[in-house]
């Protein structure tokens, strides 16, 4: 059973900056770092007082010693003062999500994922931050031939979002080659799930549908597969990426639970005892049929491997959601 927000870490930076700390992954990471004794400066542009998702994401961090929250947009704030004395910067701020990136929002993707990253890199270089860990994405691989993706594979991003994530990680790796640049680890996260997952994502929506009886919109036939990766495992890999001195370059973070959407629906149904009413819709452009990580590099370089299987991870995710559904009780 996953130990929610009990991330097993043997070492952690003394002082770190987490960008995107009001987001899904960033808030879990900041909490785990503080628990491990790190002083954390969290930076995010979301309003921490009125936005409901942000309030929920920051709830466990509010007022705890060792966590300092800054509300600021990385596109225009003064970044240098935030980085002074930091052993590591975890750069997770960005606009996620494959499907909306085709629309007029693309300029936001470009701004937050590429231009803001450039500002972070310039500041890291000026201040002399030794290590930058950046959140890259499995989407950089694009369509595969069915085999596991290895970091050395030629990327073929299939959506505007994926193009920005590839540009982001490559920009970071280019700065790592400069004499004063930080050493960089670009973690290619594979479809992360668990408590507080973004509400646009499939796992959240499937569990929510099973808990509430509301219909679930399914894009395509449901046979598309993902390497679903549990949040605690992602946090453990991310902290290791900052603390293993020799780590550098792109590293896959995934490989524990490859499953189709229909398999996730079956597990959600069995966990809640309630069938999900499906609304079939057409497959969305840019959605690949399969993601599958080769996790060898993460194992060799970071000593990391996923520990939480899909069934146990979905149970923990479901329990966190069920606590928010009024009058929920497991169907017979």
DSSP secondary structure, 263-314, as one string = HHHHHHHHHHT-PPPEEEEPPPTT--SB--B--HHIIIII-------HHHHH
- 51 φ, ψ to 5°? -85, 125
Report what 261 binds from ligand UGA, ligand NAD, none; CB cut-off 5-8 Å by kind: ligand UGA
Residues 45-104 that bind ligand UGA (CB under 6 A): 96-98
- 15 φ, ψ to 5°? -140, 135
Binding to ligand NAD by residue 22, rule CB under 6 A? yes
Number of residues counted as binding ligand UGA (CB under 6 A): 21
Binding to ligand NAD by residue 44, rule CB under 6 A? yes
Per the listing, tokens 């975890």 go with 90
Q: The tokens of 241 are what?
A: 């990426």
User: Least Å distance between CB 248 and ligand NAD?
Assistant: 19
Of 274 and 304, nearer to ligand NAD (C-beta) is 304
Binding to ligand UGA by residue 261, rule CB under 6 A? yes
Sheet holding 192-193, edge to edge: 192-193, 225-230, 257-260
Binding to ligand NAD by residue 25, rule CB under 6 A? yes
Binding to ligand UGA by residue 190, rule CB under 6 A? yes
DSSP secondary structure, 231-271, as one string = HHHHHHHHHHHHH-TT--EEEEE--SEEEEHHHHHHHHHHH
Binding to ligand UGA by residue 224, rule CB under 6 A? yes
Per the listing, tokens 């003064």 go with 78
Sign, Cα dihedral of 107, 110, 116, 122: negative
Q: Could you tell me which of 244, 133, 137, 138 has the C-alpha nearest to residue 184? A: 133
Of 75 and 167, nearer to ligand NAD (C-beta) is 75
User: Least Å distance between CB 300 and ligand UGA?
Assistant: 21
Figure out which of the listed residues 126, 178, 284, 330 binds ligand UGA, where binding follows CB under 6 A: 284
Report what 284 binds from ligand UGA, ligand NAD, none; CB cut-off 5-8 Å by kind: ligand UGA
Sign, Cα dihedral of 100, 105, 109, 112: negative
Binding to ligand NAD by residue 231, rule CB under 6 A? no
Binding to ligand NAD by residue 141, rule CB under 6 A? no
Looking at the DSSP bridge assignments, the partners of residue 260 are: 225
Sites of contact with ligand NAD (CB under 6 A): 20, 22-26, 44-46, 73-75, 92-96, 112, 116, 135, 137, 165, 189, 191-192, 198
Sites of contact with ligand UGA (CB under 6 A): 96-98, 137-139, 189-191, 201-202, 205, 217-219, 224, 226, 261, 284, 287, 291
């Amino acid at each position: 059973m996953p130990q929610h927000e009990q991330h097993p870490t043997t070492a952690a930076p003394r002082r770190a900056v987490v960008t995107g700390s009001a987001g899904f992954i960033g808030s879990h990471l900041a909490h785990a770092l503080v628990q491990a004794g790190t002083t954390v400066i969290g930076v995010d542009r979301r309003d921490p007082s009125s936005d409901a998702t942000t309030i929920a994401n920051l709830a466990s961090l509010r007022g705890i010693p060792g966590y300092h929250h800054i509300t600021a947009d990385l596109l225009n704030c003064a970044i240098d003062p935030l980085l002074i004395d930091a052993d590591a910067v975890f750069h997770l701020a960005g606009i996620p999500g494959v499907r909306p990136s085709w629309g007029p929002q693309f300029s936001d993707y470009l701004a937050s994922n590429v231009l803001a990253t450039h500002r972070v890199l310039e500041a890291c270089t000026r201040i002399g931050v030794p290590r930058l860990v950046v959140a890259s994405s499995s989407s950089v691989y694009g369509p595969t031939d069915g085999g596991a993706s290895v970091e050395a594979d030629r990327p073929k991003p299939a959506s505007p979002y994926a193009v920005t994530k590839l540009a982001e990680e490559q920009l970071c790796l280019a700065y790592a080659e400069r004499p004063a640049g930080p050493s960089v680890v670009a973690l290619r996260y594979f479809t992360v799930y668990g408590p507080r997952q973004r509400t646009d994502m499939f796992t959240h929506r499937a569990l929510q549908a099973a808990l509430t009886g509301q219909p679930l919109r399914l894009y395509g036939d449901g046979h598309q597969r993902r390497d679903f990766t549990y949040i605690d495992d992602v946090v453990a890999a991310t902290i290791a990426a900052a603390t293993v001195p020799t780590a550098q370059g792109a590293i896959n973070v995934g490989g524990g639970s490859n499953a189709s959407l229909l398999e996730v629906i079956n597990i959600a149904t069995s966990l809640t005892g309630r069938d999900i009413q499906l609304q079939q819709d057409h497959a969305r452009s840019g959605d690949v049929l399969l993601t599958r990580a080769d996790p060898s590099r993460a194992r060799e370089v970071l000593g990391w491997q996923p520990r939480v299987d899909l069934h146990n991870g979905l149970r923990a995710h479901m329990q966190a959601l069920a606590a928010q559904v009024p009058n929920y009780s497991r169907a017979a």
